[in-house]
Chains A and B, each alone.
Chain A
Amino acid sequence: MPSLKEIRNRITSVGSTMQITSAMKMVSAAKLKRAQDAITQMRPYAEKLQEILGNLSATLDISDNAYAESRTVNNVLIIAVTSNRGLCGGFNNNIIKRVNHLVNVEYAAENPRVLCLGKKIKDTYKKSKFYYINDEIAPVEDIFSVLSFDNAAVIANDLMKRFVNKEFDKVVVVYNKFVNAATQDVITEQILPIVKNEQENSAATADYIFEPSKQEIVEDLIPKSLKIQLFKALLDSNAAEHGARMTAMHKATDNAKELQKSLKLSYNKARQAAITNEILEIVGGAEALNS
Chain B
Amino acid sequence: MQLEIITPEVKVFAGEAEAVQLPGLDGLFQVLNGHAPIISALKEGTVKIDLATAFEITEKTSDLIEKDAKDAKIIRVTIKGGVAELTNNKLIVLAE
B-binding residues in A (CB < 8 A): 38, 41-42, 44-46, 48-49, 52, 55-56, 148-149, 153, 206-212, 216-217, 220-221, 224, 227-228, 231
Contact A42 B41 (CB under 8 A): no
Contact B7 A206 (CB under 8 A): no
Contact A148 B9 (CB under 8 A): yes
Known contacts A52-B39, A208-B38, A211-B41: does B8 contact A231 (CB below 8 Å)?
A: yes
Query: 6 nearest interchain CB pairs?
Result: A211-B40, A206-B37, A220-B41, A209-B38, A149-B8, A217-B41
A-B contact pairs, 21 of them (CB 8 A): A42-B8, A44-B6, A45-B8, A48-B94, A52-B85, A206-B87, A206-B88, A207-B37, A208-B37, A209-B36, A209-B37, A211-B24, A211-B25, A212-B24, A212-B26, A212-B41, A216-B25, A220-B41, A224-B82, A224-B94, A231-B8
Contact B25 A149 (CB under 8 A): no
- Name B83's contact: one of A153, A207, A209, A217 (CB within 8 Å): A217
- Name A221's contact: one of B7, B9, B41, B92 (CB within 8 Å): B41
Known contacts A52-B83, A52-B85, A206-B87: does B11 contact A44 (CB below 8 Å)?
A: yes
For the complex, give the distance between the alpha carbons of A216 and B6 in Å.
22
Contact B11 A41 (CB under 8 A): yes
- B88 CB, min distance to chain A CBs, angstroms: 8
Contact B41 A149 (CB under 8 A): no
- A228 CB, min distance to chain B CBs, angstroms: 6
Known contacts A48-B94, A52-B85: does B9 contact A212 (CB below 8 Å)?
A: no
Residues of B within 8 A of A38 (CB): 9
- A128 CB, min distance to chain B CBs, angstroms: 33
Residues of B within 8 A of A41 (CB): 8-11
Interface of A: prevailing SS:
helix
Residues of B within 8 A of A44 (CB): 6, 11
Whether a CB of chain A sits under 8 angstroms from the CB of B18 is no
Residues of A within 8 A of B82 (CB): 224
Interface of B: prevailing SS:
strand
Contact B83 A220 (CB under 8 A): yes
Contact A209 B39 (CB under 8 A): yes
Q: From B95, which residue of chain A is reached at the shortest CB distance?
A: A45
Q: From A148, which residue of chain B is reached at the shortest CB distance?
A: B9
Residues of A within 8 A of B41 (CB): 211-212, 216-217, 220-221
Contact A49 B38 (CB under 8 A): no
Contact mask for chain B residues 15-55; partner A; CB cutoff 8 A; 1 contact, 0 none: 00000000011100100000011111100000000000000
Residues of B within 8 A of A48 (CB): 6, 85, 92, 94
Residues of A within 8 A of B40 (CB): 210-212, 217
Known contacts A41-B10, A231-B8: does B25 contact A210 (CB below 8 Å)?
A: no
Contact A221 B83 (CB under 8 A): yes
Interface centre among B26, B82, B83 (most CB of A within 10 A): B83
Q: From B8, which residue of chain A is reached at the shortest CB distance?
A: A149
For the complex, give the distance between the alpha carbons of A211 and B41 in Å.
7
For the complex, give the distance between the alpha carbons of A206 and B37 in Å.
7
Residues of B within 8 A of A224 (CB): 82-83, 94, 96
Knowing that A206-B88, A210-B40, A211-B41 touch, tell me 19 more A-B residue pairs with CB under 8 angstroms: A41-B9, A42-B9, A45-B7, A49-B94, A148-B9, A153-B96, A207-B37, A208-B39, A208-B87, A209-B36, A210-B38, A211-B38, A211-B39, A217-B40, A220-B25, A221-B83, A224-B82, A224-B83, A224-B96
